[in-house]
A and B are shown apart, each in its own frame.
Chain A
Amino acid sequence: MFETELFLEALPILVMAFLEVTLVVTVTSSLLAAVLGLVWAIALRELPGALARPLAFVLDFIRMTPLPVHLLVIYYAFTQLSPMTVGILVFGVHYSTYMAESYRAGIESIRKGQWEAAKALSLPPARTWRAVILPQAIRNTLPSLGNWAIAMFKDTPFLIFISVPEMVTRAREFGGQNFSYIEAMTLAGLLFLLASYPTAVLMQKLEKKLAY
């Protein structure tokens, strides 16, 4: 039986967990992933093959192994770090490997003529990236980065593996204390939907606005 009272009682607890953990991890890790992803994408293009190949291998390795495993490994390997810090770092690094792929696609979508024009004007490589390539590439990449951020948001319940009190962890606790899981879990689901859906719509609008 679904009890409305329990539902309402769980509301403030889960909203707080949402704001204090889920949102903080998502926003911080997204920013970290967006910066690192860009660094990887540029490094893969600019580094000589002897350095780029090992980097590509490491990125593939991270991308193709499960997130919860990374969480546990880093959690037990660096016990001096708080679980929250481990969560932010692991989510940030893991998703940076996906975002690097998005940036790569964005960079590759820039026509060869743009690079050639920059070279013909003798722009140094750093200036070519900053003034010519990245403003165009990131425009193409932003919507995809937004989608990764939403995916990361939905992965935050994995934090349960390293005992970070995120929303679903709290919902489970609440359910255990009250001998009924359905109310708190339904609420957690609704809160995810409430946050994801408007963000996704926003990303779509952004995508349209950014089109040349």
Chain B
Amino acid sequence: MPTDPDHRPTTDARTSEEEPRVRFEDVHKKFGRTTVLEDLNFVVGRGERVTLIGPSGSGKTTILRLLMTLETLTGGYIWVDGDPLTHDRRDGKRVELRPKQVAQVRKRIGMVFQQFNLFPNMTVLQNIVEAPVHVLGQSREQAAENALSLLEKVGLRERADAHPTELSGGQQQRVAIARALAMDPEILLLDEVTSALDPELVGDVLNVLKDVAASTDITMLIVTHEMQFARDVSNRVMMFDGGRVLEEAPPEQLFSNPQHERTQKFLEAVV
């Protein structure tokens, strides 16, 4: 499912070809008194695949959740194609956007969760067509046709009428990937998508994702403990510690020649 990066009408004068897909600017995130992210700045280019690694509590999942607007920024800005996601800067002031405005930009982002989060009251097919019909306004026929071809892609076409509880964890996760792709996102967030799976089911899910990475130009932000997968799909790996980027590099470079002692130790522990 190739996506044309410029097929959406621009909603903001700042949007231009040069704008990165995602820009975190001075991002702050506190949970109560605990600061999780501090003065975080980074950019993800169009079509880039970035893997975030680091010890738990280093803030990498929070980054995905902030992008998906599942958490609220306590400071700074997130820009998507140059458009403000939840907060805009007007006359030098930080202004919170209204839910409707947030929804416009959020539609370009999809997410796959560690716990799949399929809707158990719907069949596999209904799970996938729900948002395309009710958010994008596709016809049921069009959405179902697209859903079936996505199911074909993840190897589950024959399970279209099953309920999620009838599927294995790996199958559920592949449906969840199809569901996210059905929204034709520009950005796909993968939050530890294999962490809840039995080891023998991990391979199928990763193969589906490698296929998606190879056949589309969707920008991906990935949080994973599967270092081989990170090596296979990403162009860049960012090592986080204590809410900061410790170092970043292409995977082969970062994995074979980490600059920081902290990164070395982390890689020794997980590989």
Contacts from A to B (Cβ < 8 Å) = 111, 113-114, 116-117, 119-124, 127, 131-132, 135-136, 139, 212
Residues of chain A contacted by B113 (CB below 8 angstroms): 113, 116-117, 120
Residue A131 contacts which of B111, B134, B165, B179 (CB distance < 8 angstroms)? B134
Residue from the list B118, B121, B183 in contact with A122, Cβ < 8 A: B183
Q: How many A-B residue pairs have CB under 8 A?
A: 60
Q: Knowing A123-B131, A123-B135, A131-B130, say if A117 contacts B107 (CB, 8 Å).
A: no
Distance in angstroms between the alpha carbons of A152 and B263 in the assembled complex:
65
Interchain CA distance A39-B109 in the complex, whole Å: 32
Query: In the complex, A212 Cα to B134 Cα: how many Å?
Result: 26
User: For the complex, what is the distance from the CA of A114 to the CA of B122, rounded to whole Å?
Assistant: 12
Which residues of chain B are near A117, meaning CB under 8 Å? 113, 117-119
**Contact A121 to B120, CB < 8 A, known contacts A113-B115, A131-B130, A212-B165:** no
**In the complex the two chains form, what is the Cα distance from A117 to B111 in whole Å?**
8
By secondary structure, the B interface counts as loop
CB-defined interface of B86-125 with A at 8 Å, one 1/0 digit per residue?
0000000000000000010011011101010111111000
Q: Hey, which chain B residues are within 8 Å of A113, CB to CB?
A: 113, 115, 117
Contact of A119 (CB < 8 Å), options: B70, B121, B165, B183: B70
B interface residues, tally (CB under 8 Å): 25
Q: How far is the CA of A113 from the CA of B164 in the complex (A)?
A: 14
The answer to whether B68 and A120 touch across the interface, beta carbons within 8 angstroms, is yes
Q: Does B62 contact A (CB under 8 A)?
A: no
A residues less than 8 Å from B115 (CB atoms): 111, 113
Interface membership of B180, Cβ < 8 A: yes
Given contacts A122-B131, A122-B183, contact A116 B165 (CB under 8 A): no
Chain A residue numbers with a CB within 8 Å of B135 are 121-124
A136: B residues at CB distance < 8 A: 119-121
Q: List 10 A-B contacts (CB under 8 A).
A: A113-B115, A116-B70, A116-B117, A120-B111, A120-B113, A121-B130, A121-B179, A123-B130, A131-B134, A212-B120
A106: min CB distance to chain B, Å: 13
B107 touches A122 (CB 8 A): yes
- Which residues 25-56 of B sit at the A interface, judged by CB distance below 8 A? none
Q: Does B235 contact A (CB under 8 A)?
A: no
In whole angstroms, how far apart are the Cα atoms of A111 and B109 in the complex? 22
Give Cα A131–Cα B130 distance, bound, in whole angstroms.
9
With A and B bound together, what is the CA distance between A204 and B120 in angstroms?
22
Give the distance in Å from the alpha carbon of A136 to the alpha carbon of B110 in the complex: 23
Once the chains are docked, how many angstroms separate the CA of A156 from the CA of B20? 68
Report Cα–Cα, A120/B120, bound state, in Å. Answer: 16
**Neighbouring A residues of B130 by C-beta, 8 Å:** 121, 123, 131
